[in-house]
Amino acid sequence: MTMMNTRSKMNLRRRSIYLLPNLFTTAALFAGFYAIVQSMNGRYEIAAVAIFIAMVLDGLDGRVARLTHTQSEFGAEYDSLSDMVSFGVAPSILMYEWAFRDLGKWGWFAAFIYCTGAALRLARFNTNIDVVDKRYFQGLPSPAAAALVAGFVWVMLDNKFTGYDLRWYAAALTVFAGLSMVSNCKYYSFKSINMRKSVPFFVIFLFALFFIFVAQNPPLHLFLLFFGYCLSGYVMSLMDLRKKPTPPQP
């Protein structure tokens, strides 16, 4: 009887709706929606910043749920739908409105590749969540892909470039980000970092230096940071290929 009560409580917990983590998810969803609205209004820099805000909020909801023991199946599904809006639809519309309008069918084709890549990436993540190595992501995470696309728009606007001037470069970057999401490249997930574990004082000092570095030129440094992270998956894949032993010759 006790075991049955425990199981029923666990099932109820999985199906419950918890306010705190879902507030962060709702805020991330609003930031993604706001980015879409601002993209359609031609306020591209604000839209790019909103996508970065959505990324920060998306990183918080899961950690808050784990720290407060309020994980639920509803929260996981809601988070995935929010990610599709904030990191799939919003970046593709931002790129289309900023740079792709004059490309005709090639413009919406490039935007759709990215949007489809984000949808497939999220679907694969949801189905493989219990079978993959927690230390790595399979394919570029959709928030990082969105940060790469939004960061490109932000840094180019900050340097007075127009979308028309960079439309083909923007299309290439957008398709690259979309394909990276559905690739089999491994990306470090940072989930092995224990936030409750004590760390040396020097680590806190390094974090302070990191924030100072980003604050010097947020558009450029954030774009370079996520561009480097995107390339890291391909570097790790090449290193794994080199480590594989060659079959013996007959």
Locate tokens 């947020």: which residue?
Answer: 218
pLDDT score for 36? 98
Please give the Cα distance from 196 to 80 (Å, whole number): 26
| pLDDT for 4 | 45
CATH number of the domain located at residue range(s) 17-237 in this protein: 1.20.120.1760
The H helix count followed by the E strand count for the chain is 10, 2
Rounded CA-CA distance 52/33 in Å is 13
Amino acid, single-letter form, for residue 68 = T
CA distance 23 to 245: 49
- In this prediction, residue 66 carries a pLDDT of 76
pTM: 0.85
pLDDT at 16: 58
pLDDT score for 9: 46
| pLDDT, one tens digit for every residue, the chain (250 residues) | 444 444 544 444 455 567 778 899 999 999 999 999 999 999 999 999 999 999 999 988 877 777 777 777 888 889 999 999 999 999 999 999 999 999 989 999 999 999 999 999 999 988 876 666 678 888 999 999 999 999 999 999 999 999 999 999 999 999 999 999 999 898 988 776 666 666 677 777 787 888 888 889 999 999 999 999 999 999 988 887 877 665 555 5
